[in-house]
Amino acid sequence: MPLVAANWKMNPTNEDDALDLVRGVLSVARGHADRVEVAIFPPFVWLSSVGAVLAESGVKLGAQDTFWEMSGAYTGEVSPAMLKGWCQWVIVGHSERRLYLGETDEMVAKKTAAALSSELGVIMCVGELADHYDAGTSDQVVSAQVKAGLANCSADDSARLVIAYEPVWAIGTGKNADPEHAYKTMRLIRRVVGEMIGAGAARKVRILYGGSVNSKNVQQYVELPLCDGALVGGASLNAEDFAQIVKVTAEVYGHR
- Going by C-alpha positions, the residue among 244, 156, 150, 227 that lies closest to residue 187 is 227
Going through the chain in order, the beta strands assigned E by DSSP cover 3-7, 37-41, 60-63, 89-92, 121-126, 161-165, 206-210, 229-232
The answer to whether residue 255 is catalytic is no
Sign of the alpha-carbon dihedral angle for 227, 233, 235, 237: positive
For residues 190 and 226, the answer to whether their CB atoms sit within 8 Å is yes
Whole-Å CA distances, 83 to 4, 44, 51, 119, 136 = 20, 10, 11, 10, 39
For residues 234 and 215, the answer to whether their CB atoms sit within 8 Å is no
> Residue type at 113?
A
> Residue type at 50?
V
DSSP state of 87: B
The answer to whether residue 166 is catalytic is yes
Selected catalytic residue, list 94, 96, 103, 132 = 94
Q: How far apart are CA 115 and CA 16, in angstroms?
A: 29
Selected catalytic residue, list 37, 103, 128, 166 = 166
Active site residues: 94, 166
